[in-house]
Each structure stands twice: as C-alpha cells, then as structure tokens.
C-alpha cells in the first residue's frame, strides 16, 4: 500500500514537472487570462436591452478586474512619480482611474460585433508576458493588439495595451509629462487639469 502511494506520488510529481517544463507557464496563463477577459467583454457587449449607465458600470468593473490601474498610473507619471508627494500620488491615481474610464468607455462600445483571435504569447520577463492578438473587423484589415500581462501569485493584470505598435501607457505618459512640463514642472498642474477634464463631461 505504502509503496503504491510512493509510486503515485512520484507519478504525480512527474506529471507536474512535465506540465511545468513543457511550455512557459507564465505566458500560457497570460494567454488564457486574455482569452477569458476577451470573451467576457464581447459577451457583455452582446447583451441587449441594457441601459447606457449599466454598460459604463460593467466597463468599470471589467477595467478594475483586468487592469493594474495603480501600476499604470505610476508609470504614466514618468520621472515625476518620484518627486510627487504622497498626497499628490494618491489623488493622481484616483483621477487617473476616472480619466481612463471616461476616455475608454466609448472605445469599449466600438468592440461590439467584433471578434478576436490570440496569435501567440511569450514571456518578456519573469513576471510579464506579451499576448499578441488580432481584433477582427468585417470588411477591414485586422487590428494588431498586444497585451502586456503581469502575473503574480496566479493573479493576472494587464499593464499595457499596444494597438498597431502604439502603446496606450506610453502615449499617456508622454502626454502627462508634457502637461506637467507646461505647468512649470508641477504635478499639481496635471492633477488640476485631470480634475477639470473628469468633471467637465
């Protein structure tokens, strides 16, 4: 009996080993994660008879679930993250979330009626993977969209979306840094501009 248990354990560990070594697990999991999020997004958009308010609410939930917004926020502040005060950082991250929801809610709607396919995924560091996909639009060339996914303790979060070679995070960072520069190098200047932008519409 005991011997059987040992053999079983050995077999089990062998299986586990094979599982671990046969492919890069990080990029595999990241790929699965993107597939799941993509399907969830598209099926949520397919549902009919939902109010505009409900759609925005769902987008918000999906965004918070799938994206590492605090990390992206920190990245978009560039070098100025280090010189910002704690209070500024806190308010900036909150405003950034609002800003992203406002800016991307419409773009989210445009995904309606489209489909996507995962091309491949590959690890780009010990914790990050790049998942390459194509969004298929009827009668138009497919759109290349790459997702940067960070995985830690089996929790996956998107940290960047690269559409046709254009990184959303980098674009946002370049813009924010420019706004700060325009306002005499004050992070407070950007915060004020974001406050105005997120309350105006």
Partner 1 sequence: MTVLSKSKNRISGTLAFVACTALILAGCATAPPADDKVAMAAFKEANDPYEPFNRAMFDFNLALDKAVLRPAASIYRDVLPEPVQNGVHNFLHNLRSPIIFGNDLLQGELDRAGSTLARFAINSTVGIFGLYDFAAYVGIEKHNEDFGQTLAVWEVEQGPYLVLPIFGPSNPRDGVGRVADILIDPLTWLTPFEFQMARTIGTAVNARARNFDQVNDLENNSLDFYSAVRSLYRQKRADEIRNGVPLNTNAVTGNLPAMPDGKSEHSQAVTSQNGK
Q: Shortest gap between Cβ of 12 and partner 1 (angstroms)? A: 31
CB-nearer residue toward partner 1: 40 or 105: 105
Q: Shortest gap between Cβ of 120 and partner 1 (angstroms)? A: 11
CB-nearer residue toward partner 1: 37 or 194: 194
194 close to 73: Cβ distance less than 8 angstroms: no
Q: Shortest gap between Cβ of 171 and partner 1 (angstroms)? A: 5
Write the CA distances from 156 to 20, 43, 63, 123, 137, integer angstroms.
18, 20, 13, 13, 27
Where does residue 48 rank: exposed (0-12), middle (13-18), buried (19+ CB within 10 A)? Answer: exposed
CB-nearer residue toward partner 1: 12 or 136: 136
Q: Shortest gap between Cβ of 9 and partner 1 (angstroms)? A: 33
Interface ranges with partner 1 (CB under 8 A) = 71, 74-75, 78-80, 82-83, 102-103, 106-107, 110, 124-128, 130, 132, 139, 144, 146, 148, 150, 159-160, 162, 164-167, 169-171, 173-182, 185, 190, 193-194, 197
Interior angle at CA 126, CA 9 and CA 115, nearest 5: 95
CB-nearer residue toward partner 1: 69 or 130: 130
Rounded to 10 degrees, what is the CA torsion of 146, 151, 154, 156?
A: -50
Q: Give the residue from 112, 96, 133 showing the smallest Cα distance to 58.
A: 112
């Amino acid at each position: 009996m005991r011997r059987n248990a040992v053999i079983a354990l050995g077999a089990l560990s062998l299986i586990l080993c094979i599982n671990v070594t046969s492919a890069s697990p990080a990029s595999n999991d990241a790929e699965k994660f993107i597939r799941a999020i993509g399907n969830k997004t598209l099926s949520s958009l397919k549902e009919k008879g939902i109010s505009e308010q409900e759609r925005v609410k769902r987008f918000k939930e999906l965004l918070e679930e799938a994206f590492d917004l605090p990390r992206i926020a920190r990245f978009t502040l560039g070098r100025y993250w280090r010189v910002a005060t704690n209070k500024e950082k806190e308010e900036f991250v909150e405003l950034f979330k609002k800003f992203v929801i406002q800016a991307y809610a419409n773009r989210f709607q445009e995904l309606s009626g489209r489909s996507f396919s995962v091309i491949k995924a590959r690890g780009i560091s010990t914790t990050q993977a790049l998942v390459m996909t194509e969004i298929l639009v009827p009668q138009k060339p497919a759109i290349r969209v790459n997702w940067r996914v960070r995985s830690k303790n089996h929790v996956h979060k998107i940290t960047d979306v690269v559409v046709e070679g254009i990184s959303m995070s980098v674009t946002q960072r370049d813009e924010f840094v420019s706004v700060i520069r325009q306002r005499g190098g004050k992070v407070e200047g950007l915060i004020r501009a974001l406050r105005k932008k997120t309350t105006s519409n």
